[in-house]
Amino acid sequence: MTENIRQILLDAFRSEYREYLDGIRARLAAPEAVGADAMQEMFRQAHSLKGAARAVDLGAVEAVAHGLETLFARVQEGELPLPGPVAVLSGRILDAIEDLASAPLEESDTPPPADLMAEIEAVLSGRPLSSAPPPPSSPPPTPPPPSSSPMPATETALAGESTAEQVRVGAGRLDSLLGAVTELLVEQRRQDRVSADLARLDEALGELENAWRRLRDGIPTGSELAQHMDRVEQRLRVTQRLGREVRRHQSAVSWSSQRLGRSLHEEVRRARMIPAENIFSGFRKMVRDLARDHGKQVEFRATGLEVEADRMVLQGLKAPVMHLLRNAISHGVETPEERRAKGKPETATIRLELSTVEGRLRVVVQDDGRGLDPEAILEAATARGLLTPAEAETISRDRVADLIFSPGLSTSQGVNNLSGRGIGLSVVREAVMRLHGSAEAREAPGGGTSFVLLVPLSATAQRLLLLRVQGRSWGLPASSAERLLRIPRSQLLHIEGALALPNPEGPIQLVALASLLGLSSNVEAEGAMMHLVVLRWGERRLAVAVDAFEGLRDAVVKDLGGLPLDSSPAGGGVILDDGSVALVLNPFRLMQLAGRTATALEVSERAPVKKVPTVLVVDDSLTTRTLEKSILEAHGYRVRLAVDGMEALASLRAEPVDLVVTDVQMPHLDGFGLLQAIKTDPALSSIPVILVTSLERREDQAKGLALGADAYVVKRKFDQKELLETIGQLI
């Protein structure tokens, strides 16, 4: 086997063997609960691992895996119980395989650990581990050939089962594909503006036609000018008809392409979602090795590694989590002698816990060691000029914990290969904030330290809440907004000269978002009404006042590169439809800024802008559309028109309205289909819909109301007053 070929095979083996180790470890976590099926799967994985090692000529891994396979075979035959020594020994065997398999290529011919092989032999022969013979001086016997250990029939059946074909795709290509699809979605959003522009063009042509007819009526029939105007009118009608055809076609194509684009984006996004164990499984060995090298006894417990997240997010978290684990061994965990003197077990526990919370990935690194030392932290912070002596005396406990993320801050008395330079935790926070997340330190229950990281599950398009502040658009992750309020200023509380938002669980601090952005402390109120966003991050809440809400949108948050994350609340930017850039704010950073500076809130009132309600009329009959449009415009409503449900849906997604009045019997997409599409779309479901139709049967009315119609008006009984009263009640 040439070195080139062997290296390729080793690379493939090293991406495969971890799946076997993780699968066995997951079942060994509760050995008393392992049934016959799980035991068979563990045996199969050990056997496959042995075969894979043989294929790449890793004799040591093959020998140790054969021992594990034999142990599991004896358990299956009822000769050995799994709980107890066998489970403990199996865990040690897995650790040994991990060490051997991850060794450099030049060490791949290292013999298997003699003491471990002796323990395996002792258990298989029925001798207690304490009486196991000393390690043999000669290398252990090589495992028997496959013919002496035939694969059980059940395993043969498993191997023969048909499975979905899998193709390996480079991560870089997958990232590029997702980036292209995401950009496609952004471009498709601009098609909504095209749809809206075509709708306005159609409306303008209709108004031009009416004006032309009024002009034509004043010219004598038969004159040369009248004949010329007739020809122009014919061309106008052709242009208007062509415009409607283009508009209808563009709406259908836009709707279909956006639906397919969203579907493709979701499929590629799912393809990038991988279990966390694919990235974090190597930490077990790292913790074990570091603890051994530094004379500490550590039990590492990892839970939630089956949680799936975007590969880019997990890769971005790998270095921060590694820093935290190393920090736990260096700063958190005591030596066995120290722990014994404190009445603690000699073996410390370090936990890595992953879970999903409200659409975000939560990563916790926790130890039961010394815990935070507030005095040492304050002393180091004061020495570096981060605090004045006066501030150090009054600082809150939460702020003390937050100081350890400051660049250059270290409480270590010396420098070693684990800590002491004061860069680890600042790097952790910066990396997490670049993922649009947060990093916090807390005191662990029962002693020790707990670090909590919160990041989005996906690195692709996010749902953003767009806000207006100081004449510019700003974005916030929609998942961080607990409530949007339009509240009279008189309902706010005055506490020690500052405004606060009343809340059953206690007043919520209120600040102007502009002040946190370093712009001013002024916020515009619409008359007596203020626009507030209540942010929630973990257990913390903050109310920020903005000038206006601009709506929700899905967008790709771009890294701005070089942005000073330690001073700026912006974590990225998005390109808006008009080509401008809106900065996307990090809610956690906003809360930090609000806690460090007490800012007054100045309110300036602007005259309320009377909003003219917009009604979308959908009907394939020109006469009905014209009638309803004239009635509604005469009573102060702004009216948009659509000739069928397909066109109406595209128009709504481009620019929502206050109410929809629709016929039922229409081509392409009828009124029932339009109603269902509106009520099942989260972005449109709140829009009231009135069905105006000639269908009088109770079954049709019941169907419309069941689909979510807010009112049902029969055309035969059409009453202008009834329609206007119904609209008035709904908007």
Note if the pTM is more than 0.85.
no
- Taking only the tens place, the pLDDT of each residue in 681-708 is 888 988 999 998 777 777 777 888 888 8
Strand partners, 638: 614
Share of the chain above pLDDT 90, in %: 11
pLDDT of residue 144: 41
| CA–CA distances in Å: residue 294 to residues 158, 319, 336, 419, 463 | 45, 21, 11, 12, 46
Q: Residue 108: what pLDDT?
A: 62
pLDDT at position 459 over 60: yes
Q: What does 270-322 look like in DSSP terms, one character per residue? A: HHHEEETHHHHTTHHHHHHHHHHHTT--EEEEEE-TT-EEEHHHHHHHHHHHH
Tens-digit pLDDT profile for residues 349-371: 999 999 998 778 999 999 999 88
Confidence of residue 137 (pLDDT cuts 50, 70, 90): very low
CB 122 within 8 A of CB 132: yes
Q: Is the pLDDT of residue 172 over 80?
A: no
The pLDDT assigned to 192 comes to: 66
Residue 208 has pLDDT above 70, yes or no: yes
- Non-local (6+) Cβ contacts of 688 within 8 A are 658, 659, 660, 710, 711, 730, 731
> 616: which residues sit within 8 A by CB, 6+ positions away?
639, 640, 641, 642, 648, 651, 652, 657, 659, 660, 661, 662
Residue 131: is its pLDDT beyond 70? no
Tell how many helices (H) and how many strands (E) occur in the chain: 23, 25
Question: pLDDT-derived band of residue 611, with 50, 70 and 90 as boundaries?
Answer: confident
| 568-602 residue pLDDT tens | 677 778 877 666 788 888 888 888 788 766 555 66
Is the pLDDT confidence value at 37 over 70? yes
pLDDT reported for residue 132: 40
Tokens 């502009």, located at residue: 514
Query: What is the structure's pLDDT at 598?
Result: 54
The whole-number pLDDT of residue 528 equals 72
Q: How many CB atoms lie within 10 A of CB 390?
A: 8
- Taken in order 487, 490, 493, 494, the sign of the CA dihedral is positive
Asked if residues 438 and 588 have their Cβ atoms less than 8 Å apart, the reply is: yes
Please check the confidence at residue 114 and state whether its pLDDT lies above 80: yes
C-alpha distance across the termini of the chain, in Å = 78
Residue 307 reports pLDDT greater than 60: yes
Give the lowest-confidence range in 89-103, 337-351, 431-445, 556-570.
Answer: 556-570
Rounded to the nearest integer, the mean pLDDT of the chain is 78
State the pLDDT at residue 168.
59
- pLDDT > 90? residue 253: no
**What's the pLDDT band for 303 if we cut at 50, 70, 90?**
very high
